[in-house]
Structure formats: structure tokens, C-alpha cells
Amino acid sequence: MEQNKKVEVTPENSINPKTGKPYRTHRESAPDPKTVRNDNNRGVKHVIAVMSGKGGVGKSLVTSMLAAQARRNGFKTAILDADITGPSIPKSFGITGKAMPSADGQSIIPCESQNGIKIMSMNLLMKDTDPVVWRGPIIASAVTEFWEKTTWGDTDYMFIDCPPGTGDVPLTIFQSLPVDGIVVVTSPQDLVSMIVEKAVKMAAMMNIPILGLVENMSYYVCPDCGKQHSIFGESHVDEAAEKHGIDAVAKLPINPQNASLVDAGRAEALDGEGLKEITEVIFG
Ligand SMILES: Nc1ncnc2c1ncn2[C@@H]1O[C@H](COP(=O)(O)OP(=O)(O)O)[C@@H](O)[C@H]1O
Ligand SMILES: [Mg+2]
Ligand SMILES: [Zn+2]
């Protein structure tokens, strides 16, 4: 059976309270040594990529929540906004400045949020009104440049806001950056099983575990009756997670307050409580 093939690798010390056992995360086999193209960023200890099947499902919100939570837990935290054509991270963290070149002109200094989350994004290199019209290969090389040329310094956790989809750019990210794990974001309207299937296949090719699955906009807590309404339809994440041996599942409600925080550039105030199972896997 498919279930038996899996070698289950979990971060140390993360016990699933539901089962009393370590969390299962999806990984087909032991990791290969990573081929990192330069040594500049050896100070970045953990790299977590956040991906989704399509845009608008809350990938950036989840990336921001994870980073805010990491910072709150006292970790040196960074976000690499790899959504080159739809960058939204700087604005949601209230960053108004631009990234500057280092004194020797060889690297770029990332911007920092109020609480010190280092951020690099296409938005920080150009005027806000300039659209990015590049095609796939150039976009992919921009992402690897962001990794290589930014002076990230000592960083405990870097979160990558991937471009939407399971195409070439996320694949390049997994191939050329030392990604330790992937978080997949879906919505109830998605063909969840298909997206997770694709993500699992990509991750398996690179020997990267899928650490958790998020269903965003899963339900709405009705202010009138207090019940959870499944506005966008029935949830399918639990089946998909079960099928692929992913233990950490999060269901985030539709929460207008979170949208307001993001709009107001206050993403650092986002509450990571809804992602608890996943943050436990990541932070141990
Ligand atoms: N759970 C949620 N409740 C309310 N608004 C949300 C929620 N998730 C995302 N949003 C809002 O929906 C929009 C799309 O989310 P975003 O994170 O930008 O998606 P993506 O990065 O996948 O394109 C944003 O305006 C965001 O603030
Ligand atoms: Mg986004
Ligand atoms: Zn109701």
C-alpha cells in the first residue's frame, strides 16, 4: 500500500497532541545534500516555501502569519517575496522604503519590518506603479538572485512566498534554494486533491517534505448564530492530507480583521494561532 512506502521524517520534538506521536510530514526518502550555488547565505538556517494552486487563496496571508509567528517566538525571521509579478509582502508589513545596494554595490540590503523581519521583494526594487511583464525563465532567475544577492545575514527562518501555481518557478525555487519544507495553501473552492497531488510530486522530486496543508477561507463564524458556515463549500483537506500522509492541517476562517490588518500594513499583528499544528511542525 502507498501508505507503507513512506519514510516519515519529522522535525525533532514536535509531537502531535491528537496522537501523542511525532507529526508525520510527507517525504518519500531521505534528503540529498543540497546543491546551493553560493555560500553567501549559509547564515540562513531554515527555509520554508509557501505555495498554492492558484492566486487569491491566501498564500501571502499565510506566509505573513508564519513569519509574524516566528518573529513573535523570538526567531530571526525573513521573507523572500518570490511572487515577482504580484508582490504584496512589503505593503502588508507597512514598508514604505526601497531596498538599497550595499556599499560595494555587490549585494542588496533587505528592508526590515517594525519588529525586524527582513524582507526582499520586487516591490522594493521598483516604483510601485511599474508592472513586471517578465516571462517564466527571467522570473525564476530573479528569485534565485534575490536569494544570492540579498545580505540576509543570520536568519533562523526564511519564508518564501512562491508565485501561485505548481509550475516552473516554484520548481526552480525548490531546485536552486535550500528549501527545507513546503506549506501548501488551498481554498474550499480548489480541486484540493489535484493541487496536493502536484505539490507532493514536485516535493518528492526534490526530496523536500510537505510540512502542512492549509485550507484558507474554510468557514465563517456567523455573528448572528455563532455557528461555522462553510461559505465556499465543503472541506476536502482532511482527505487529501490523510491520503498523502500529512498530519498538520490548518483551517483558517474568513476573518475580515486579518484582511484589514494586511491592508493597513500591520501583518506583524496577525495571529498565528490558527496555524498552530503547522507552526509546531516548523518550530518544534
Ligand atoms: N482568511 C481570510 N479572511 C479574510 N480575508 C482573507 C483571508 N485570506 C486572505 N484574505 C484576503 O484575500 C486577499 C487574497 O489573499 P492573499 O494572501 O493576497 O492571496 P494570494 O497570495 O494567494 O494571492 C487579500 O486581500 C487577503 O487579505
Ligand atoms: Mg500573494
Ligand atoms: Zn448563522
pLDDT tens-digit map of 176-206: 899 999 999 999 888 888 898 899 889 888 8
Q: CB of 57 closer than 6 A to ligand 1?
A: yes
Pocket test for ligand 1, best of 52, 60, 61, 273 (most atoms within 8 A of CB): 61
Query: What integer is the mean pLDDT of 136-142?
Result: 84
CA of 100 to the centre of ligand 1 (A): 29
- Which ligand 1 atom is the nearest neighbour of the CA of 83? 21
CA of 216 to the centre of ligand 1 (A): 8
Alpha-carbon distance of 245 to 135, in angstroms, equals 35
Q: What are the residues whose beta carbon lies below 5 Å from ligand 2 (ion)?
A: 60, 88
How far apart, in Å, do the first and last CA atoms of the chain sit? Answer: 30
> What digits encode the pLDDT tens for the residues 19-69?
777 666 665 443 444 444 445 677 899 999 999 999 999 999 999 999 999
Q: Which CATH superfamily is domain 49-283 in?
A: P-loop containing nucleotide triphosphate hydrolases (3.40.50.300)
Q: E strands along 219-284, which residues?
A: 220-221, 228-229, 249-251
Q: CB of 82 closer than 6 A to ligand 1?
A: no
Is 165 in a helix, a strand, or coil?
Answer: coil
Is 171 in a helix, a strand, or coil?
Answer: helix
- Which ligand 1 atom is the nearest neighbour of the CA of 62? 17
Per the model's pLDDT, the better-predicted residue between 251 and 15 turns out to be 251
Cα 252 off chain centre by: 15
- Written as nine digits, the cell of 244 is 498523502
CA of 221 to the centre of ligand 3 (A): 8
Q: What are the residues whose beta carbon lies below 5 Å from ligand 3 (ion)?
A: 222, 224-225
DSSP per residue over 46-104, as a string? EEEEEEESSTTSSHHHHHHHHHHHHHHTT--EEEEE--TTS--HHHHTT--S--EE-TT
Domain boundaries, the chain: 49-283
Flag the least confident range among 92-101, 119-128, 245-254: 119-128
